[in-house]
């Protein structure tokens, strides 16, 4: 990459996103013939990296009965492994430890990328008025929210009930397979159904038999909210080293996640 292009990307990222962040791409993604991560992948040492993995904590509409909400699924192994994957598979410097924040915490504006999951169970999320207002401001100012791991029409309805209150004036659209988000780093042929552990044949979990990606866009057409429906990247990250989890799906989980991250950093 030329010095001029590198400086231009650094300038854009430092001035256009929430919080200062810089990014330098690797020249080419690594081969996927073997596992993208292995137990020998070095542990992270960078305590002041440029990318922080922030998981969104939220309340459920119904109490799930386990003493904590569905937001904690796969935590913290999925988050830590994804950070290791980003460090291993790109030149993005990462912070060592994942972070958990709510939308009523003003520190949310320090981080341009948020991850949330299981937003269809237990009635879906129940956002307070302050959380909804902060979410709108965060996303319209350039933030990016990745929603993962919810399945079927019932869970979709629970999710839709909550997010139609956050952006009642914006349509949730389905992204086509040729959208640039699937080619921002790895070249992937559209949405992929990533299974939970214990489902090596990748059977649908609910009443929908294909994965799809949906989005809420800002006025410029940027994806603010990316909705990964009927797919579970978090399990692919969490069970990277489990011999029961198929390598091909773990690899796909990292490829998709890194594509979404790179997209969020350059838009």
93-120: pLDDT as tens digits:
999 899 999 999 999 999 999 999 998 8
Whether 80 and 98 have beta carbons less than 8 Å apart is answered as yes
12-46: pLDDT as tens digits:
344 344 443 333 333 345 445 578 876 666 555 55
Distance (Å, whole) CA 157 – CA 237: 26
156-214: pLDDT as tens digits:
999 999 999 999 999 999 999 999 999 999 999 999 999 988 877 777 778 998 999 99
Question: 47-266 sits in which CATH class?
Answer: alpha beta
Nearest to 230 by CA among 144, 176, 173, 155: 155
Distance (Å, whole) CA 169 – CA 227: 18
Q: What is the pTM of this model?
A: 0.83
Q: Is 243 exposed, middle or buried (0-12, 13-18, 19+ CB in 10 A)?
A: exposed
Nearest to 29 by CA among 258, 194, 233: 258
Q: Where are the domains of the chain?
A: 47-266
Whether 63 and 108 have beta carbons less than 8 Å apart is answered as no
């Amino acid at each position: 990459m030329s010095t001029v292009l590198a400086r231009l990307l650094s300038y854009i990222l430092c001035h256009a996103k929430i919080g200062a962040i810089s990014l330098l791409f690797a020249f080419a993604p690594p081969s996927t013939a073997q596992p993208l991560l292995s137990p020998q992948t070095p542990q992270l040492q960078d305590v002041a990296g440029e990318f922080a993995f922030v998981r969104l904590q939220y309340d459920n509409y119904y109490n799930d009965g386990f003493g904590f909400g569905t937001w904690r699924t796969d935590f913290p192994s999925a988050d830590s492994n994804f950070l290791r994957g980003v460090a291993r598979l790109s030149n993005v410097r990462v912070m060592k430890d994942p972070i958990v924040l709510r939308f009523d915490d003003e520190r949310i504006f320090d981080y341009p990328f948020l991850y949330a999951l299981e937003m269809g169970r237990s009635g879906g999320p129940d956002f307070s008025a302050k959380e909804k207002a902060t979410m709108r401001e965060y996303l319209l100012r350039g933030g990016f929210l990745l929603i993962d791991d919810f399945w079927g029409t019932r869970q979709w309805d629970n999710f839709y009930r909550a997010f139609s209150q956050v952006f009642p004036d914006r349509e949730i659209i389905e992204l086509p397979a040729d959208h640039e988000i699937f080619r921002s780093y790895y070249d992937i042929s559209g949405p992929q159904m990533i299974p939970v552990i214990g489902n090596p044949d990748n059977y649908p979990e609910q009443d929908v038999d294909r994965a799809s990606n949906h989005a809420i866009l800002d006025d410029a057409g940027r994806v603010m909210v990316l909705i990964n429906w009927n797919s579970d990247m978090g399990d692919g990250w969490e069970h990277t080293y489990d011999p029961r989890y198929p390598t091909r799906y773990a690899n796909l989980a990292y490829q998709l996640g890194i594509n979404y991250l790179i997209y969020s950093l350059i838009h």
